[in-house]
């Protein structure tokens, strides 16, 4: 019987081990759109901010957090293609007015902002962020009441990169060791 560890096979074994131990690109789940290093799920149902946030977490993702101008433009184009007028962003200032935080834990401040002129303005207690694609607001953000739901759609986001779950060590006989 031939062992995988024989000199003629050693390069293949090393390559398999290296590939198995590095992060690998993953394909997005069906119904998700891949862009850059993220996967996006666009929904066509209007809902409030809390329900949108809970929905995305239930899918294993988070409510959309835009981190660059390039990502903002991508989202606006996809909104245009899907007929969305506005969508929630995963950012709010619920805990402290004017201190906008993002992500499900609400612990990270915004890395990128694209507020419309005069926004955010906390008009009538608006604490949740949204993005608009209207021509006059092309991709700019506004603060909205977290309870709004009419024309407020949901885009969920998750990483398209997945780390390998484990590495395997091969024994001298070419079998995986416990």
pLDDT in tens, 85-142: 999 999 999 999 999 999 877 667 888 999 999 999 989 899 999 999 876 778 999 9
Nearest to 116 by CA among 92, 139, 87: 139
Domain boundaries, the chain: 45-160
* Beta-strand relationship, 141-144 and 24-25: unpaired
Q: State residue 13's pLDDT score.
A: 44
Whether residue 77 contacts residue 174, with contact meaning beta carbons closer than 8 Å, is answered with no
pLDDT above 70 covers what percent of the chain?
Answer: 74
| Tens of pLDDT, residues 6-28 | 656 555 544 444 444 444 455 89
Quick check: pTM over 0.85? no
To the nearest whole number, what is the mean pLDDT of the chain? 83
> Rounded CA gap, 96 and 61, in Å?
25
Question: What distance separates the 2 farthest-apart alpha carbons in the chain?
Answer: 77
> Rounded CA gap, 164 and 155, in Å?
27
> Rounded CA gap, 166 and 142, in Å?
43
Nearest to 72 by CA among 101, 115, 135, 103: 115
Q: Residue 76: which region, alpha, beta or left (left: phi > 0; alpha: psi -120 to 50)? A: alpha
Fold of 45-160: Mannose-Binding Protein A; Chain A (3.10.100)
């Amino acid at each position: 019987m031939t062992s995988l560890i024989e000199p003629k096979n050693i390069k293949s074994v090393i390559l398999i081990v290296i590939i198995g131990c590095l992060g690998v690109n993953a394909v997005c789940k069906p119904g998700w759109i891949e862009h850059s290093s993220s996967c996006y799920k666009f929904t066509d149902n209007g809902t409030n901010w809390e329900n949108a946030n809970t929905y995305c977490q239930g899918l294993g993702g988070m409510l959309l957090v835009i981190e660059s101008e390039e990502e903002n433009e991508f989202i606006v184009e996809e909104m245009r293609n899907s007929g969305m007028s506005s969508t929630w962003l995963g950012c709010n200032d619920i805990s402290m007015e004017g201190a906008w935080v993002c992500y499900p834990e609400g612990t990270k401040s915004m890395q990128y902002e694209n507020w419309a002129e005069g926004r955010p303005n906390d008009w009538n207690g608006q604490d949740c962020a949204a993005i608009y694609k209207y021509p006059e607001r092309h991709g700019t953000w506004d603060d909205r009441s977290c309870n709004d739901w009419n024309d407020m759609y949901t885009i969920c986001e998750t990483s398209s990169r997945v780390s390998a779950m484990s590495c395997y060590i091969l024994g001298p006989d070419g079998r995986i060791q416990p």
